[in-house]
Amino acid sequence: MIDDASDLEQLYKGVAQYYTGTLRRFGPTPLGVDWSCAPTQALRFRKLLIVCDFHEPFSLNDIGCGYGALLKYLADYHPDHVIDYLGVDLSQAMVSRARKLWPGQSHKFEQGPAASRTADYSIASGIFNVMLDQPVDMWERFVATTLSQLHESSRRGFAVNFVTAPRSGQDIRRGLYGTTPERWIDFCRSEFSRDVTLIDGYGMSEFTLLIRSPD
């Protein structure tokens, strides 16, 4: 019998190979990280970053950072804010491309499934969507493990998004994971004892969860 750690390692390899392939096909663009366009990618960033307090400097872990698209969003919309940024991605090709696009010492990138440091906040955009051919129970084990890692490495809070499960009679694209907000709101509240805020109704078939430390 293969243990959970070995199962997860195989899952990580499969996800890394998938996104290495999208990067090679489409380059450092929204399509290269499996988003349809820049405006919807930016909208997701805006919703996720609600978890952050921009009234003071903070550190941020960007899990599933891809080629570093969040840095462009921050430069465009928060150009004067001081953010200690770390991008983390399963694909070494993504990390290498991000380092080329964003050289310098003000931000760092590393390869892996989780951040090597604790930050004030963490965000993860779209990392739970592309399930590929994984069984649902295995994918949900990955989601739960990743949420636990985000909890452990985020002092003040973290934010994630999910594809909304289709209504009865509707189809979801093959290889995507869809779920209900309640499934993971209940998990975060029971496992982490944190405040959870649901954001939905922003024009896409998805939702965002903000998980904050109680004041």
> Partners of 164 in the beta sheet?
179
CATH number of the structural domain spanning residue 148? 3.40.50.150
At 170 the pLDDT is 54
Cα(87)–Cα(123) distance, rounded to whole angstroms? 10
pLDDT in tens, 157-200: 999 999 999 875 455 677 899 999 999 999 999 999 889 999 99
Share of the chain above pLDDT 90, in %: 85
Mean per-residue pLDDT over the chain, rounded:
93
- State the chain's maximal CA–CA distance in angstroms: 53
CB 61, CB 83: distance < 8 Å: no
pLDDT in tens, 98-111: 999 999 878 999 99
Share of the chain above pLDDT 70, in %: 96
**Tally of residues, the chain:** 215
* Residue 150, domain extent: 4-212
Q: Into how many domains does the chain fold?
A: 1
Residue 206: how many CB atoms within 10 A of its CB? 18
